[in-house]
Copies of this chain bind each other. A is one copy, B any other.
């Protein structure tokens, strides 16, 4: 009803007591006091050009008042203990990566944060799909704990598809009942990319149970539906899956938008779709689009940038900077229900980025909860103090292989033709061919002349002793062996190599390092990167990781191996949802016919 209260003091309530600090953030009287000027703010940022998404405008010459990490007023003439003039710089909310797998950076959350925070990213929505495939519930838990309290908000989407398939041995199987506890976690924003759209479309109750769990919790459910359209897309969307980051064309994005999905434009290391989506970015769609990196390697972050690079790419592609920034910060906060992020206004977190040139967005100053944590692209002492407060929790070793001997890598000749995985550089899709392997003393050996070399997948989660054996052409390896425990999606140990000694050494070295990448030649190690965190992530600083990765690149370059990253190619050879021939710890999978096949083709 309409009631006009003419005076503040005229209510019949007793004089209020002060509420204690009960952790409800804004619902503490000191914030209310600060907003009304009864106590001074901590910091006034003056002479800002405030980017205001509520009204789609820039407020020139504005003063933003910050108290205990939150904005308490804009142009409210509040006194503050400290003042910092931005000298006419723009000020926008911190950037948000709407969908990212931290594991793809090979970095721990702490190091990941250190790389992206100075670039203006103040929040990420991480899907710990990889570590969950290795360590299940414990892996998600670790990710939550290892990222808690960082000067970067790390939110989680719980992986929806662990394991991705039943063709191999993963480290875990997660059902809705396993995910239930996460649905109640404040930092968990929902269910991660539902890759298993065949399961959704077929009404698989195990998939629907997970959707239901998060739908009932009122949380987001992210999609992953490359190329899905028409009726199938409608069926997928109606279950409550309301976002997608797999659109690669404007048409695909527009169909998905029209069916009610939010679209995440991706700027990953290999998958870089966002420029292709620019034609879809009109005045309507930019209110339901976001930016994400999905999978981005540390060197790309270092050289090109993070979400800031996506903003630059959009602006240089003709997208108005207000729209690009709206997608970069305001929209993900809206989509994910981050009620105190993504805007500059009273009650919003003082996660702020100052920048000079809208045409070339670069974070000059980054504030996290009111703290200046980075300047000109580098973290500062304040960041170090905040970042070092995070103690990385212990995690059990995840490389659990049965005792190996050199002879375990022998492939006895069965006669006739063998199935060969035909890899092509830079693609995760493989072909399949038949060839007579080179045989010595009744054993199949690698044949460098024809580039047909042996490949093995060693189960590493349960110590089962499973070793899948096969041949691969296209890697271009000429000496020794290369191996990895990053091997999508089950992340078993995968090794391709020429001679038994090198292969055996690679396996032992990966085991000793508790996971990682390695290149061996006999007993010699040409390059190695230990990834002891679940066999997926380093526990070392980003600079060290990038140095070690450079040694691999140097090796590949020197050897003249094809493609930008043979390691990346290798790490997708065990993913039996991608055609055509793949290898798992249980042997070869013909993905086209969707069945396990023998190495030697029975005539």
- Residues of A at the B interface (CB closer than 8 Å) are 1-6, 8-13, 15-19, 22, 24, 26-27, 29, 31-33, 35-37, 52, 54-57, 70-74, 76-78, 101, 104, 129-130, 164-167, 195-209, 211-212, 215-216, 218, 224, 226-227, 230-235, 237-240, 246, 254, 257-260, 266, 268, 270-271, 283-285, 287-288, 294-295, 337, 339, 343, 345-348, 428-429, 488, 575-579, 591, 594
Residue from B10, B27, B205, B218 within 8 A of A208 (CB atoms):
B27
Q: Are A345 and B32 interface neighbours, CB within 8 A?
A: no
Q: Are A240 and B347 interface neighbours, CB within 8 A?
A: yes
Residue from A24, A337, A575, A591 having most chain B Cβ neighbours under 10 A: A24
List the number of copies, as a whole number: 2
Residue from B3, B211, B232, B575 within 8 A of A3 (CB atoms):
B575
Q: Are B11 and A232 interface neighbours, CB within 8 A?
A: no
Residue from B5, B55, B205, B206 within 8 A of A285 (CB atoms):
B55
Q: Which residue of B lies closest to A127 (CB)?
A: B1
A526 and B186 alpha carbons, distance in the complex (Å): 61
Q: Are A257 and B5 interface neighbours, CB within 8 A?
A: no
Query: Assuming the A-B contacts A54-B284, A288-B54, are A591 and B10 also in contact, with contact meaning beta carbons closer than 8 angstroms in the complex?
Result: yes
Q: Are B199 and A238 interface neighbours, CB within 8 A?
A: no
A68 and B337 alpha carbons, distance in the complex (Å): 29
Q: Are B230 and A54 interface neighbours, CB within 8 A?
A: no
Query: Assuming the A-B contacts A32-B235, A36-B201, are A240 and B339 also in contact, with contact meaning beta carbons closer than 8 angstroms in the complex?
Result: yes
- 29 examples of A-B residue contacts, CB within 8 angstroms: A1-B101, A1-B104, A1-B294, A4-B227, A5-B226, A6-B578, A8-B197, A10-B591, A11-B577, A16-B206, A18-B203, A24-B212, A26-B240, A27-B239, A29-B203, A32-B235, A35-B235, A55-B285, A56-B284, A72-B234, A76-B230, A237-B346, A238-B347, A239-B347, A258-B345, A259-B346, A260-B345, A260-B348, A283-B283
Main secondary structure of the interface of A (DSSP, over half): loop
Q: Are B198 and A5 interface neighbours, CB within 8 A?
A: yes
Residues of B within 8 A of A10 (CB): 198, 577, 579, 591, 594
A10 and B230 alpha carbons, distance in the complex (Å): 20
Q: Are A238 and B56 interface neighbours, CB within 8 A?
A: no
Query: Assuming the A-B contacts A32-B203, A203-B33, are A4 and B208 also in contact, with contact meaning beta carbons closer than 8 angstroms in the complex?
Result: no
Q: Are B12 and A165 interface neighbours, CB within 8 A?
A: yes
Residues of B within 8 A of A227 (CB): 4
Q: Are B218 and A218 interface neighbours, CB within 8 A?
A: yes
Q: Are A54 and B24 interface neighbours, CB within 8 A?
A: no
